[in-house]
Amino acid sequence: MTKNKHLTDSDRLKIEQSLRDGLSLRRIAAELGKNASTISREIRARAIESNKYAPYRIHNRCVKLNVCQKMQICVDKPNCTKICSRCNYCNAVCEEFEERLCVKLYEPPYVCNGCTEEYQCALRKKYYLHKKAHEAYREMLVESRAGANITEDELLHLDEWISPLIRRGQSIHHISVHNADKLEVSEKSIYRYVSGGLLKAKNIDMPRVCRLKPRKTKPVGHKIDSTCRIGRTYADFLEFIETSDAPIVEIDSVIGRVGGKVLLTMMFKSCDLMLAFIRERNTSQSVIDIFNSIHVRLGADRFKILFPIIIADNGSEFSNPKALEYDAQGNKRSHVFYCDPYAAYQKPNVELNHEFIRRILPKGTSFDNLCQTDINLMMSHINSYSREKLGDKSPFDMFGFIYGYDVLESLGLNRIMGNEILLKPLLLKK
């Protein structure tokens, strides 16, 4: 019997086929060279529910099916003479509905694969499907091997009290010793969170870390618990905008030299105006700092008007949505949503507008010698460039007409006269 070996896609296909053939878990385990408990755990963990009904049967799953005599539950059908328990709509409208579950799902093989009564059963079902099972396994494997295993709320709580102590000159070891009852992560993890830019405290706040020579190893990846995207998917975004006419802001990152400075870009979909902000590193905290800076500069009321709905990709720099949605006092200021993975076309405006940035900063160009003044100059030229889709108006003028030119001034943008616009690398040559 093989040990310490993961099940492969072909193993899972064999499990599905064997269950269809009615083989026992012990027989399946013997054929695969695995322990029966391994097969049992695999099936119970990766079986998926199905709402499939048996054809030509009453679609009623209530435990009172055979004893209930209720009639005319549907108020819109006063002339109906049928007993409600014999109606396919009974489960959906009856307030006393109590679902009946199949007892066979609580004993081996735990699924409906190969069940002789499958085609005449109206109850909720479970199936083991090798393709779905292997996809779930791969997703779990990737998540378990990448980044920091910490939820969004846990990270915010940790940052709230540990960053001020680090900035007071205390070492992480000292903090761990005197706050052992508060810490749920190791010292090493905290060092990684600081180095990864997940906390407000930086490496520069720890003198000894600054003196250490960086190791020539692959940097540790970081991520926030994927549950932070629950309720913020692209499907949720589409549903939300159906009931709201608020403006949408698409955000993204533009990478210069790998490991160097990066840009955070914000595209106002209503007028094609784009903002850009230089960041030292492509971290979650750097994005949060920029949002907080804009919030302070514009004020709470104007910020809510400009940034009511934000859509981003699944990059790690946008993996702390609550810190973007709420201000320092805990007041809601925005709604953050995420595109589907590998679906950049779901925020096309910001992606297309990056072409203007690449005219001035070609791909592979380092941003390390640039400052925010340079970026403001570049964006002033880009936003003053007339667009045919805007009726030959510039995004600068469209934005100023809608929100006011004083907002543009506070954000560091200026109008550039048409003949003076320069969209070449020469613009930022020093």
Whether omega before 109 lies within 30 degrees of 0, making that bond cis, reads: yes
Domain boundary among 127, 144, 161: 144
Give the span between the Cα atoms of 88 and 74, in whole angstroms. 12
363, two tokens: 């791909």
The predicted pLDDT at position 225 comes to: 56
Give the span between the Cα atoms of 29 and 39, in whole angstroms. 6
**Nearby residues of 206 by Cβ (< 8 Å), 6 or more positions away:** 166, 171, 172, 194
Task: Show pLDDT as tens, one digit a residue, over the chain (430 residues).
Answer: 455 578 999 999 999 999 999 999 999 999 999 999 999 999 999 999 988 776 667 788 888 888 888 888 887 777 888 888 888 788 888 888 888 889 899 999 999 999 988 888 888 899 999 999 999 998 887 766 555 567 777 888 888 888 888 888 888 888 888 888 788 788 888 888 888 778 888 887 876 665 556 655 554 445 555 667 788 999 999 999 998 889 999 999 999 887 789 999 999 998 999 999 999 988 888 999 999 999 999 999 999 999 999 999 988 888 888 889 998 888 999 999 999 888 888 998 998 899 999 999 998 899 999 999 999 999 999 999 999 889 989 999 999 999 999 999 999 999 999 889 999 999 998 6
Which H or E run contains 310?
A: strand 309-312
| DSSP type of residue 99 | B
Q: Is residue 94 part of a domain?
A: no
Q: Is residue 339 part of a domain?
A: yes
- CA 32 → CA 11, 224, 250, 398, distances in Å? 7, 37, 50, 66
My answer on whether 351 and 286 are in the same domain is yes
- Partnered with residue 326 across adjacent β-strands are 332
Domain boundary among 91, 111, 144: 144
Q: Is residue 292 part of a domain?
A: yes
Greatest CA separation for the chain: 87
Which H or E run contains 252?
A: strand 248-255
Give the span between the Cα atoms of 93 and 347, in whole angstroms. 40
- Partnered with residue 50 across adjacent β-strands are 125
The predicted pLDDT at position 367 comes to: 92
CB 254 within 8 A of CB 275: no
- How far apart are the two ends of the chain, measured CA to CA in Å? 68
My answer on whether 129 and 170 are in the same domain is no
CB 123 within 8 A of CB 61: yes
Lookup result for tokens 């940052």? 159
Strand 309-312 and strand 273-279: the pairing is unpaired
Give the span between the Cα atoms of 90 and 63, in whole angstroms. 12
Q: Is residue 66 part of a domain?
A: no
pTM across the whole model: 0.56
The predicted pLDDT at position 144 comes to: 62
Whether omega before 78 lies within 30 degrees of 0, making that bond cis, reads: no
The predicted pLDDT at position 1 comes to: 47
Sign of CA dihedral 191, 196, 202, 206: positive
CB 41 within 8 A of CB 137: no
My answer on whether 56 and 198 are in the same domain is no
My answer on whether 252 and 303 are in the same domain is yes
Q: Is residue 172 part of a domain?
A: yes
My answer on whether 257 and 160 are in the same domain is no
CB 276 within 8 A of CB 375: yes
Backbone angles phi, psi at 408, to 5 degrees: -60, -40
The predicted pLDDT at position 284 comes to: 87
**Nearby residues of 395 by Cβ (< 8 Å), 6 or more positions away:** 268, 271, 272, 273, 274, 383, 385, 387
Q: How many CB atoms lie within 10 A of CB 343?
A: 12
My answer on whether 231 and 112 are in the same domain is no
Domain containing residue 194: 152-211
Count structural domains, the chain.
3
My answer on whether 275 and 301 are in the same domain is yes
Backbone angles phi, psi at 228, to 5 degrees: -65, -15
**Nearby residues of 46 by Cβ (< 8 Å), 6 or more positions away:** 128, 132, 133, 136, 137
Q: How many CB atoms lie within 10 A of CB 205?
A: 18
Q: Is residue 270 part of a domain?
A: yes
The predicted pLDDT at position 210 comes to: 59
Domain boundary among 108, 125, 144: 144
411, two tokens: 């954000």
My answer on whether 156 and 140 are in the same domain is no
Q: Is residue 366 part of a domain?
A: yes
The predicted pLDDT at position 148 comes to: 58
Q: Is residue 19 part of a domain?
A: yes
Q: Among residues 109, 135, 105, which one has the least CA distance to residue 18?
A: 109
My answer on whether 354 and 372 are in the same domain is yes
My answer on whether 258 and 396 are in the same domain is yes
My answer on whether 53 and 191 are in the same domain is no
The predicted pLDDT at position 314 comes to: 86
Give the span between the Cα atoms of 292 and 331, in whole angstroms. 12
My answer on whether 350 and 418 are in the same domain is yes
